[in-house]
Amino acid sequence: MTKKILALSALTGAVLVFAFPPIGLGFVAYFAFVPLMFALHGQTRLRGLALGFIAGFVFFAGTVYWVVHSMYYYGGVPVFISIPVMFALAAYLAVYFALFGLFFPVFSARAPVFRVAAVSALWVSIEYLRGNLFTGFPWALLGYSQTPYLPVIQIADITGVSGLSFIVMAINAAFFFSIKSFVDKEKTRPVIELVTIAALFAATLIYGFVRIEQVDSEAAKRGGFKAAIAQGSIDQSVKWDRSLRSKTIEIYKSLSIEAAKKGASFMLWPETAAPFFLGVNKDETDAVTDAAVQSKAYILTGAPAFSYNGDVGGYKYFNSAYLIDGKGAITGRYDKFHLVPYGEYVPLKRFFPFIKKLTVGVGAFAEGRGPYPIGFTGGDIGVLICYEAIFPEIARETVKNGAAFLVNITNDAWFGTTSAPYQHFEMSRMRAVENRVYMMRAANTGISAFIAPSGRVIAMTGLFERTFIAEKVGIKNAARMGFYTRFGDVFAYGCLLFIAVFLLTRLRRGGLIKNV
């Protein structure tokens, strides 16, 4: 492989970084893959594997670099260890790009129009695997690059984020085949492909503009309540300091009382805003419940929890959310069930005991029982704790199970001012669009926000602000479920089925063995 070919692959990864927050030039995603496609053209599939890996490695190294910040500043992991760990994560994620490079030649040689659809379906299938294999890590899926463009992302209420990834990749493929046809002076120009993709994008925009007007109009008519989000901006280095617990709660209490003066009857505090077990220490618990009593409002706060069962392994610890009413009584609890591997639990330690020695200090949380809403007089609450917000299926199941609105409580202080808080926020927005519900997002150090069912940001905070924001939250009628909420990732399943059938057919005919 020449240096030019290698450079084209790396260029795709580098350009794609600019499509995501904090830079957020989503339009560059429409042509970011064109250099990689040119690099892959005419290569063997094994070389395609390597070229895809290079593109993926550059992209993820530029996207998940915040892992180093979290491990070094808050995990106490030396730079000479945290940087290799980040590169290892980038290398693992790059494997999925490598799969695209491996199979791209198989589909790009097909007939016009079909090849564009096939390449796009291949990408969607690979992204779906990345989001589900080995607990899944659907961070920075291609479709998320489009969140700044409200008309474009409305299609997510039918296809989920997979549909957006399909459209973006289809545009890339159409550009590639058109440019290639011109450069190679082919007799047949891919006019049909360009017209088809233009029509698809136009239809997406028309649907988007119509749905924004419909959804915003319907949302304005919903009954609801005034809510507030408290952003305490507690420094991560002192968050778990026992001597500062009272001060922490006093900060949230003060913000809640001020919000109550603005008419808020529901307060949302971030993940582990109460950094202790509620109900264990009376003084600490009373400080939280007193905040609800004085503000005469419900408070939903993050806090650790535990249960004990002597017959089944003793104590279990949970990352939880508690609902407290205006009289100070705890009326509901949700336990996070999709945990962060090597952050909240250690995978495989039952089978490989030595892993435990390598991960001293990693949390030992247990899984909750699954996505279920917390009962609330204003409408059942669908809770997503931190990392859960990047998994579409969790939000969908919660809404399907009766949630009238969603809340995402998180502590993104771990990430400092890196790209992670911005990326996490944009991914959370998509959950509101997919399920057509209001979302409240409370982040310890930001970004906190109220998000409308159209994905429109109603109000938001900046990073490391100590403040509150208050807005009306509309309540979704549980009986009115949209297509995506009702049926889930059927679009992605269709892409997977198509790719699987095609590859199996080629394998039976011996076509996959050639040009390896």
| 36, 101 contact by CB (below 8 A) | yes
- Spatial contact of 434 and 485, defined as CB atoms under 8 Å apart: yes
Instruction: Pick the catalytic residue from 271, 344, 393, 434.
Output: 271
Residue 472 is a catalytic residue = no
Place of tokens 């199970």: 401
Q: Alpha-carbon distance 153 to 130, whole Å?
A: 21
| CA proximity to 453, closest of 472, 471, 430 | 430
Cα–Cα distance, 55 to 59 (Å, whole number): 6
Q: Which candidate in 253, 336, 400, 476 is catalytic?
A: 336
Q: Is 386 a catalytic residue?
A: yes
Asked if residues 116 and 193 have their Cβ atoms less than 8 Å apart, the reply is: yes
Known catalytic residue at 284: no
Q: What is the 3-state secondary structure (H, E, C) of 188-231?
A: CCCHHHHHHHHHHHHHHHHHHHHHHHHHHHHHHHCCEEEEEEEE
Half-sphere exposure of 315 toward its Cβ, with a 13 Å CA cutoff? 7
Q: Which residues contact 113 (CB under 8 A, 6 or more apart)?
A: 192, 193, 196
Residue 131's contacts (CB-CB under 8 Å, 6 or more residues apart) are 137, 138, 141, 391
Query: DSSP string covering 14-37, please?
Result: HHHHTTSTTT--GGGGGTTTHHHH
Cα–Cα dist 89/470, whole Å: 38
- Is the preceding peptide bond at 78 cis, omega within 30 degrees of 0? no
- Considering the candidates 127, 284, 386, 495, report the single residue annotated as catalytic: 386
| Residues with a known catalytic role | 271, 336, 386
